[in-house]
Structure 1
Amino acid sequence: MEGNSLRKFKRVCVFCGSNSGNRQVFSDAASELGNELISGETVGEVRIVSDMHERKAEMARESDAFIALPGGYGTMEELLEMITWSQLGIHKKPVGLLNVDGYYNSLLALFDNGVEEGFIKPSARHIVLSAPTAKDLLVKMEQYTPSHDHVAPHESWQMEQLGNYPNEQNPK
């Protein structure tokens, strides 16, 4: 099974907490995901960036897909930004939640409530894919086809500018 999930994705950006959580099930899920993704080739590299905006833009530019493991505020912030960028049309890549032992059930319920209350379009709700196991999540992600209407066409966004926010000296 090793590496079989990389049929479609060459680089997957994984968002996760800086610690392993209080239960072994979270560490086990991270290991399972690693086993599903690793192809025997070198994994990862170190790049120096000037700030978080540049870091996220670089990860978005280089990745074919995004997966969030259970984590805290930082993990959720990165996840939500990738969801938002998909909705805006900045990327068309799959965004997955590894919903280990129901960790993300409340967040998924919040997204569903956003649809019910008219804040999230039903088609945009399908941006977020989730599954309880790495294998199931990767299958869903490999089958993903964007079906939501983007706020702006993909071509109107320039990925290389995502890390450069306008300021008084450099208006855009």
Structure 2
Amino acid sequence: MRICVFCGSATGTKPLYAAAAADLGKLLAKRGITLVYGGASVGTMGVIADAALEAGGEVIGVIPTSMTDRELAHQGLSELHVVGSMHERKAMMAELADGFLALPGGAGTLDELFEIWTWFQIGVHTKPIGIANIDGFYDPLIQMVDHMVAEGFIRAHYRDFITIDTDLEKLVSVLAG
């Protein structure tokens, strides 16, 4: 079982974001679930990878060539795939994963989350998707998505397909089936 985690190249303003990334990395390793992620050694990406590795887990990173220096590609992973573009990165992560989970992050995290969700809507995959709503981070986004449903731009069953929770154990259990 492999879960792709979308997260940031920064750690954010609250220590609890990095703590959640570390907890998730340890949890995945403890449950024998391989972490697939963006391949960086910085931000919550680096935190989750280091925590999973320290707990004995397998970690697969995927990073574009253009970001190997800027995001400091993690050199201690089980596997590191260097690809030509962000499009290739997202496609490879999707191919490698059995499910997807978004931690708090920035524009790249949202891009990855929305692309994988769109792919579900158009039938490219049926893999589970989760959002870790750490300290209410995603509350404004959830409100916007609910508004999109209410206004008829997203069908409710597409919104309901995404599992949203603050509890990492529950999210991993749902994603792992």
Is TM > 0.5 for Structure 1 vs Structure 2? yes
Which whole-Å deviations, capped at 9, do the CAs of 1:77-125 have from their partners, x for residues lacking one? 1000000000011011011111001100111111111111111111111
Which gives a bigger RCO, structure 1 or 2 (Cα 8 Å, sep 6+)? 1
Which whole-Å deviations, capped at 9, do the CAs of 1:139-159 have from their partners, x for residues lacking one? 23345xxxxxxxxxxxxxxxx
| 1:98 maps to 2:132 | yes
By how many angstroms is 1:35 displaced? 1.3
Q: How does 1:25-64 map onto structure 2 within 5 Å?
A: 25-38=16-29, 39=32, 40-44=56-60, 45-64=79-98
| 1:80 maps to 2:96 | no
Provide structure 1 residue ranges, at least 5 long, that are not aligned to the other structure.
1-9, 144-172
- Over alpha carbons, which structure has the higher Rg? 1
Aligned residues with identical type, % of pairs:
43
**1:136 aligned partner, one-letter code:** K
Q: How many residues align?
A: 134
Task: Determine the C-alpha separation between the residues in 2 that align with 1:126 and 1:14.
Answer: 19
Which whole-Å deviations, capped at 9, do the CAs of 1:43-72 have from their partners, x for residues lacking one? 221112111111111111110011111001
Provide structure 2 residue ranges, at least 5 long, that are not aligned to the other structure.
33-55, 61-78
CA contact (8 A) 1:17 1:71 kept: yes
TM-score, scaled relative to structure 1: 0.74
